């Protein structure tokens, strides 16, 4: 039961994380390979501030602000290069963030990580608090969903799609494409920070090893698998990725193969994902339902 709660909370947090990346990748067409850094900034800022005695809710708000500001600071120089190079710039940025967390021991305790991150006052610590945290994560995910739906269903979202499809056309019609992209990245970073702070206060222990490229790839997978450029896609994708990731643990693997449990689980998990992508190349919720040729 507690395990089920845990999986559901994880799925909700990943939904928020995936939705934040989708804003950049799906709507603005920006391949941000360093998105985990903003998740990490949210987690670290929130954890450090609550350790310093700041109330958790205030620490969370500061974490969002920190992620957003960092997003702007990264976006303005990184967007001067285009396409693939933007991806590389963000990738490098995430690695820089991880190395800072690893080496600035006076602040982050380095590889030891930060244990004992408190939960919000109204949620009990440990297992007793899990139902309440599930509610919290659920409300947070719903709030994020509503916020993003408003953004993407608006003229702002429409302009992002115009820019994604044809930058020159967008410019010819007076859209300041740099400004739109910066806004998309700031909004995406704030929400990634939101996911990070939700995660840190839930899991109560963070370390630099939690914020590697693997996490970015995982959340990228949620977005692409679910359907980029749609509101439900990243949610469905995150649930599928977390669900299948956990489900393979329960596969009946014959005792003779016990040595190979982990690789077998990995192979099957990967196989499921590959099949989904082959059957649904535009994601489980495709952006364009109608064929267009």
Partner 1 sequence: MLRIQNVTKAFGALMAVHGVSLEIGDTGVTGLVGPNGSGKSTLFHLITGFYRLDQGDIFFGPHSIGRLPPHEISRLGLIRSFQHTRPLPFMTVIDNLIAAAPGQTGELIWPLFLKPARVRREENNLHEKARGILRLLDLLPLADELAGRLSYGQQKLMELGRILMAGPRMILLDEPTAGINPTLIRRLVEVLHRLCEQGIQIFLIEHNMPLVAKLCQHVFVMDSGELIFSGTPKQAREEPRVIEAYLGRENHAA
Q: Does 240 bind partner 1 (CB under 8 A)?
A: no
Return d(Cα 39, Cα 36) in angstroms, integer.
Answer: 5
Q: Please identify which residue in 154, 257, 267, 270 interacts with partner 1, judged by CB under 8 A.
A: 154
Q: Whole-number minimum distance, CB 143 to partner 1, in Å?
A: 12
Q: Does 201 bind partner 1 (CB under 8 A)?
A: no
Q: Which is nearer to partner 1, 124 or 179 (CB)?
A: 179
Q: Does 156 bind partner 1 (CB under 8 A)?
A: yes
Q: Does 290 bind partner 1 (CB under 8 A)?
A: yes
Q: Does 82 bind partner 1 (CB under 8 A)?
A: no
Q: Near partner 1 by CB under 8 A, which window of 108-116, 177-185, 206-214, 219-227?
A: 177-185
Q: Does 172 bind partner 1 (CB under 8 A)?
A: yes
Q: Does 280 bind partner 1 (CB under 8 A)?
A: no
Beta-bridge mates of residue 114: 206
Q: Near partner 1 by CB under 8 A, which window of 61-69, 174-182, 208-216, 244-252?
A: 174-182
Q: Whole-number minimum distance, CB 178 to partner 1, in Å?
A: 9
| Contact assessment for residue 102 and residue 209, using Cβ atoms and an 8 Å cutoff | no
Q: Does 159 bind partner 1 (CB under 8 A)?
A: yes
Task: Count the residues in the chain.
Answer: 293
Q: Which is nearer to partner 1, 9 or 187 (CB)?
A: 187
Q: Does 103 bind partner 1 (CB under 8 A)?
A: no
Q: Does 102 bind partner 1 (CB under 8 A)?
A: no
Q: Which residues bind partner 1 (CB under 8 A)?
A: 150-151, 154-156, 158-159, 161-162, 165-166, 168-177, 180, 183, 187, 287-288, 290, 292-293
């Amino acid at each position: 039961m507690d395990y089920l709660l845990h999986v559901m909370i994880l799925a909700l947090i990943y939904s928020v994380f995936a939705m934040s990346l989708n804003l950049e990748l799906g709507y603005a067409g920006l391949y941000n390979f360093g998105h985990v850094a903003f998740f990490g900034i949210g987690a670290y800022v929130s954890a450090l501030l609550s350790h310093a005695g700041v109330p958790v809710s205030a620490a969370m708000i500061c974490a969002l602000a920190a992620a957003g500001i960092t997003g702007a600071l990264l976006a303005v120089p990184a967007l001067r290069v285009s396409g693939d190079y933007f991806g590389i710039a963000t990738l490098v940025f995430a690695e820089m963030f991880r190395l800072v967390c690893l080496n600035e021991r006076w602040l982050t305790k380095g590889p030891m990580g930060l244990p004992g991150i408190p939960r919000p006052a109204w949620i009990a610590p440990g297992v007793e608090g899990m139902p309440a945290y599930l509610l919290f994560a659920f409300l947070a995910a719903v709030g994020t969903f509503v916020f993003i739906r408003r953004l993407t269903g608006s003229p702002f979202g429409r302009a992002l799609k115009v820019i994604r499809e044809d930058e020159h056309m967008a410019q010819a019609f007076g859209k300041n494409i740099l400004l739109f992209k910066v806004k998309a990245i700031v909004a995406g970073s704030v929400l990634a920070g939101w996911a990070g702070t939700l995660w840190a206060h839930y899991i109560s222990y963070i370390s630099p090893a939690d914020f590697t490229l693997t996490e970015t790839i995982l959340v990228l997978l949620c977005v692409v698998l679910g359907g980029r450029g749609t509101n439900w896609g990243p949610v469905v994708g995150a649930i599928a990725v977390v669900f299948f990731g956990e489900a393979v643990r329960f596969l009946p693997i014959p005792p003779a193969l016990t040595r190979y449990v982990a690789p077998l689980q990995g192979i099957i998990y990967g196989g499921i994902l590959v099949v989904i992508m082959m059957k649904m190349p535009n994601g489980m919720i495709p952006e364009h339902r109608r064929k267009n040729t």
